[in-house]
Chain A
């Protein structure tokens, strides 16, 4: 199916549009969801463990307990997202039946299918997927994703990988706008996506769906940096509830995202936040332990 032929597509991408300029926060309880909403989060991601705990504790990471998701849904009026494992279309069906507002087919959880992603066209609920480069982004859009986010390296508090992925995507999109038709065919072949999709990106210099940043964002300045690099909103995972003062940090990150071009406001919001999450330098993580390669 061509990406624009799906009857619910505009309504799915529409919700992603509504989240722009906002911060989507990982939460593991109704109390945290409440704190996130009061701080100004545009949506929450309901999880059992935040990425840094998943990384530390190991084991198989699955879809969150439905009881937790239900409690979070009842406690806030902003959209509630939840993660399912890559390729686990039954977890996704369960989340859809639960009426979550957005599903993240996420590399942070242990993949259920090492070969295929979910056919996201067949769902009424919209999906967001992670990517490291434009090819990955376009493959996910071909499968029906209504929002793209960078993978970054989740649970590290190190923004370098999100920066790398954002730069990677935007620089190739810019190049596409001046490429010849032959090169467009070449890229479609290399990326294994339809020429139509490559042409849409070439024409606008943008993805046909919103492009958000995720993975390692821990400070107001990190969020503003991602916005400057072309992200249209940010996801913050472990960065908030693994810090010393989640309430204050959540507010500060929201303020810095809205006012990402106003350095005085970012400065005001970078004072006395308490300790940020400790973090791990992403480059020191062995290749096989990186989440982004999933």
Chain B
């Protein structure tokens, strides 16, 4: 059986539901590491950018000089972003009134709160198509961003209402929904397996 015990998965711990990702990484048998400052990236095998507020995280990324180190890390390591994390990974943000500067690591455009404000938040079953077949996971859409454009090099792994909600480009994975709010490790496992 495959073991993950030597994998150190960094989780951007500036603001958001980093604790939920920590819990999932631990359940998988890998080691979660908090990333708050550039030095925290050293020695990590992968990075997760959690859900939370993308404008808060964006402000703190620049305030604590994380932008260049994050871009450098992503050149050679897998990075997964959920919800706000996906916004930060995107190439472009539509109607960007808060002036969030995304990292542009995956060729998609997104619209913040594209699925509506909190009263329209929902959870639903999502069919994800991975190398080893199709699986159903529970997706939590909380003030979720909508993917409005997908570039040519981007693979769509799941859709909801004919819109992509889980996408991958090489070593970068991004989801509109939160895969970390329950005990299903399907998406995390897929992400960590990109390493292998």
Q: Name A residues whose Cβ lies closer than 8 Å to a Cβ of B.
A: 8, 10-11, 14-15, 17-22, 37-43, 75-79, 96, 99-102, 124-126, 251, 254-255, 258-259, 262
Q: In whole Å, how far is A277's beta carbon from the nearest beta carbon of chain B? A: 23
Task: Tell me if A77 and B55 are in contact (CB < 8 A).
Answer: yes
Task: Tell me if B119 and A258 are in contact (CB < 8 A).
Answer: no
Enumerate chain A residues within 8 angstroms of B97, measured Cβ to Cβ.
75-77
Enumerate chain A residues within 8 angstroms of B53, measured Cβ to Cβ.
18-19, 22, 42-43, 78-79
Q: How far is the CA of A10 from the CA of B178 in the complex (A)?
A: 11
Q: Is the interface of A mostly helix, strand, loop or mixed?
A: loop
Q: In whole Å, how far is A279's beta carbon from the nearest beta carbon of chain B? A: 27
Task: Tell me if B56 and A42 are in contact (CB < 8 A).
Answer: yes
Q: Given contacts A20-B15, A79-B118, A259-B36, could you give 19 more A-B pairs where the C-beta distance is less than 8 Å?
A: A10-B182, A11-B122, A14-B178, A17-B181, A18-B16, A18-B142, A20-B16, A21-B14, A21-B18, A22-B16, A39-B59, A40-B59, A42-B52, A77-B55, A77-B97, A77-B112, A254-B59, A255-B60, A258-B14
Task: Tell me if A11 and B59 are in contact (CB < 8 A).
Answer: no
Task: Tell me if A99 and B36 are in contact (CB < 8 A).
Answer: no
Residue of A nearest to B19 (CB): A20
**Of residues B19, B118, B123, which shows the largest number of chain A Cβ atoms within 10 Å of its Cβ?**
B118
Task: Tell me if A125 and B55 are in contact (CB < 8 A).
Answer: no
Q: In whole Å, how far is B117's beta carbon from the nearest beta carbon of chain A? A: 5
- A11 contact from B36, B113, B142, Cβ within 8 A: B142
Q: In whole Å, how far is B95's beta carbon from the nearest beta carbon of chain A? A: 9
Enumerate chain A residues within 8 angstroms of B2, measured Cβ to Cβ.
none
- If the complex has contacts A18-B17, A21-B13, are A77 and B113 also in contact, measured as CB distance less than 8 A? yes
Q: 23 A-B contacts, Cβ less than 8 Å apart?
A: A10-B123, A10-B182, A11-B142, A14-B17, A14-B181, A17-B181, A18-B142, A18-B143, A20-B15, A20-B18, A21-B16, A22-B16, A22-B53, A40-B60, A76-B97, A77-B97, A77-B113, A78-B55, A99-B117, A258-B14, A258-B36, A258-B60, A262-B36
User: Is the C-beta of B121 less than 8 angstroms from some C-beta in chain A?
Assistant: yes
Q: How far is the CA of A258 from the CA of B98 in the complex (A)?
A: 20
Q: How far is the CA of A39 from the CA of B15 in the complex (A)?
A: 13
Residue of B nearest to A97 (CB): B119
Task: Tell me if A17 and B20 are in contact (CB < 8 A).
Answer: yes
Enumerate chain A residues within 8 angstroms of B36, measured Cβ to Cβ.
258-259, 262
User: Is the C-beta of B84 less than 8 angstroms from some C-beta in chain A?
Assistant: yes
Residue of A nearest to B140 (CB): A14
Q: In whole Å, how far is A191's beta carbon from the nearest beta carbon of chain B? A: 26
Q: In whole Å, how far is A216's beta carbon from the nearest beta carbon of chain B? A: 22
Task: Tell me if A17 and B17 are in contact (CB < 8 A).
Answer: yes
Enumerate chain A residues within 8 angstroms of B5, measured Cβ to Cβ.
none
Q: How far is the CA of A258 from the CA of B53 in the complex (A)?
A: 13
Task: Tell me if B55 and A37 are in contact (CB < 8 A).
Answer: yes
- B118 contact from A37, A39, A40, A102, Cβ within 8 A: A102
Q: In whole Å, how far is A36's beta carbon from the nearest beta carbon of chain B? A: 10
**Of residues B15, B16, B18, B182, which shows the largest number of chain A Cβ atoms within 10 Å of its Cβ?**
B15
Q: How far is the CA of A18 from the CA of B52 in the complex (A)?
A: 4
Enumerate chain B residues within 8 angstroms of A101, measured Cβ to Cβ.
117-119, 143
Interface flags for B79-113 (1: CB within 8 Å of A; 0: not) read 00001100000000000011000000000000011
Q: How far is the CA of A258 from the CA of B59 in the complex (A)?
A: 12
Enumerate chain A residues within 8 angstroms of B178, measured Cβ to Cβ.
14
Q: Which residues of B in the span 155-171 have a Cβ within 8 Å of any Cβ on A? A: none
Enumerate chain B residues within 8 angstroms of A100, measured Cβ to Cβ.
118
Q: In whole Å, how far is A43's beta carbon from the nearest beta carbon of chain B? A: 7
Enumerate chain A residues within 8 angstroms of B52, measured Cβ to Cβ.
18-22, 42
Task: Tell me if A10 and B56 are in contact (CB < 8 A).
Answer: no
